[in-house]
Amino acid sequence: MNAMGPARVLVVDDAVVFRKAITDALADDPDVTVVGTASNGRLALLKIPLLNPDVVTLDVEMPELDGLATLAEIRRQWPKLPVIMCSSFTSEGAVTTMKALDQGANDFIAKPAGVGGMAEAMAALRKELLPRIKALTGRSTAGLVSRTRPAVSMPHAPSPSVTLGGSGPVTLVPAPMTQRRLDMLVIGSSTGGPNALADVLPLLPSDLPVPVLLVQHMPAMFTKLLADRLTEKGAFPVREATDGAIAKPGEAWIAPGGFHVVVKKDGERFVLRLTQDMPENSCRPAVDVLFRSVAQLSVPTLAVVLTGMGEDGLRGAQLLHAAGNPVLAQDQATSVVWGMPGAIAKAGIASAILPLNAIAAEIVKRLRHGRPAWNGAVRSRQPAAV
């Protein structure tokens, strides 16, 4: 990455209109500069060593060398170079984008569809692309712990007593009553989240004694594909949430793009409700909405916040923590963007800050409390497909 200055962006797309749209959308921000464009992957690979970009926006479908093949070569030659995929909002584009995330893309945006004209398209691109570029290149606090806005004060939040963000586990003072039996697992993630979830969920045992509820910032269509991908990799089903679904132990539900998920109790049953209330933290689904609804149930819950930009999940996690529920946060070293988990750490409400490869084991360990008959064990990692 270049010395701190405007983030240098290489725009790769076979459509001249879209290359111009991205270039124009980014033009007015002093923290970002487009240093070049390329109409296909072959040209992009030639330009990267010449232009030394900080981030590449990469079209999924291109002639000569498509997005997946280009991404594979970028990862081979420049493994640390951030890549944001630009996907058409179609089922085929979504499938290819999920493959790109599997192959190491850092994030993606869906190309504007159904907007009124170029001005609206540029506004949509600016809203979706700029925060990602800044977070992935460190040009914005969107991906970092806020240094200027204090976290909401909560009654039981301890102050961190160690340096945060190391590569190993860092245990902080736990919230009260964390040794009780936990009856629900809730997980929030954003940038880098699909791959983080694919690293954590498949290691959890098939006889998990609690339901799992997930919020990953993704648009509609993509969340269904993510659920299918996680089901294929793991030992229990992951489904896109539907209104009225009953969340049971040994299965997971992911909030669908465009909808918040809240949890209601019907006797002993956990009932999922979908809403299209206003976005929170510019997100729908929002982690805060799910966490807050669970906190209101007074159900002992384990919360996990994984990689992602911004602070979505912080306020909901504070409510869960204040009620005596443990909150785990991914560490800085293994996060694509240490925004969401970093906010948890900075607020002092993390029961533990862990590298990604230690989170599944910590989840299983904490779910064993109060369950002497449950012998759940972390599953072995499956070898990567050749």
For residues 4-35, one letter each, b for 16 or more C-beta atoms within 10 angstroms of the residue's C-beta and e for the rest, the string is eebbbbbbbbbeeebbebbbbbbeebeebbbb
What is d(CA 185, CA 212) in angstroms, rounded to the nearest whole number? 5
Of the candidates 87, 140, 189, 190, the residue annotated as catalytic is: 190
Q: Which residue has the tokens 């040209």?
A: 43
369 catalytically annotated: no
**CA angle, 42 then 44 then 46, to 5°:** 75
What is d(CA 280, CA 314) in angstroms, rounded to the nearest whole number? 12
Count of positions (residues) in the chain: 386
What is d(CA 51, CA 7) in angstroms, rounded to the nearest whole number? 12
Of the candidates 140, 312, 331, 335, the residue annotated as catalytic is: 312
Query: Strands 269-275 and 170-171, how do they pair?
Result: unpaired
156 catalytically annotated: no
190 catalytically annotated: yes
What is d(CA 129, CA 135) in angstroms, rounded to the nearest whole number? 10
What is d(CA 208, CA 206) in angstroms, rounded to the nearest whole number? 6
What is d(CA 108, CA 385) in angstroms, rounded to the nearest whole number? 23
Of the candidates 87, 217, 331, 335, the residue annotated as catalytic is: 217
- Select from 203, 205, 211 the least CA-distant residue to 186: 211
Q: Where are the alpha helices (DSSP H) in 138-192?
A: none
What is d(CA 289, CA 270) in angstroms, rounded to the nearest whole number? 16
What is d(CA 345, CA 359) in angstroms, rounded to the nearest whole number? 15
Rg, the chain, Cα only: 21
What is d(CA 331, CA 355) in angstroms, rounded to the nearest whole number? 5
Which residues are designated catalytic?
190, 217, 312
